[in-house]
Amino acid sequence: MDFDAQIQLLIDNAPQDGITPQLVAAIAPALTAIANKLRNFQYYILQNLDGGWVVTTLSNRANPTQEKRVIYAFPRLQDVPANSSAGLDPQVIAAPILVIHILFQLVALEPVDSIVFFETPGTTTNTVEVVRTELQSLIQLYLKENQSRDRIPPDIA
């Protein structure tokens, strides 16, 4: 499913409150700009049975007190490592999620610092990291551009 269709799906499934569909349309260029840097239209995300995404805490080797929380996104189901939570914990599954939806969710995932997208099937060496705060900044730029024209509240994201 291409990015335009993914955006339309988000708009169609948004609460029809008169604001949310407009908001999704306003930030669509930011989501698409990031998605265009990635190779796949969907990725597999580790989730618990309630649908919560599995967050991995990484420590800096040089400074172990410095940590960041990431979510891993795999290009194919077979790329999910067998030693990951999905292989060891029956309460964890790898679910396919459209890339635009992953990016849209990242905006609101406060405890998460970034999503690491594994880009090349069969290897873990080629990754793209999307940092939540950078995505939020890009979205703010698009919201400011559209604010006066579409009357989107400035504090929405």
Res. 153: pLDDT tops 60: no
Nearest to 114 by CA among 106, 104, 102: 106
All structural domains of the chain with their residue ranges: 3-150
> Residue 82 has what pLDDT?
65
pLDDT in tens, 117-142: 999 998 888 999 999 999 999 999 98
Under CATH, which number does the domain 3-150 receive? Answer: 3.40.1350.90
Q: Which two tokens stand for residue 144?
A: 């400011």
Q: Which residues, 6 or more positions from 42, have their beta carbon under 8 angstroms from its beta carbon? A: 1, 96, 97, 98, 99
Half-sphere exposure of 92 (CA within 13 A, CB side): 17
Res. 2: pLDDT tops 70: yes
Q: Which residues, 6 or more positions from 103, have their beta carbon under 8 angstroms from its beta carbon? A: 31, 34, 35, 115, 130, 135
| φ/ψ of residue 120, rounded to 5 | -105, 120
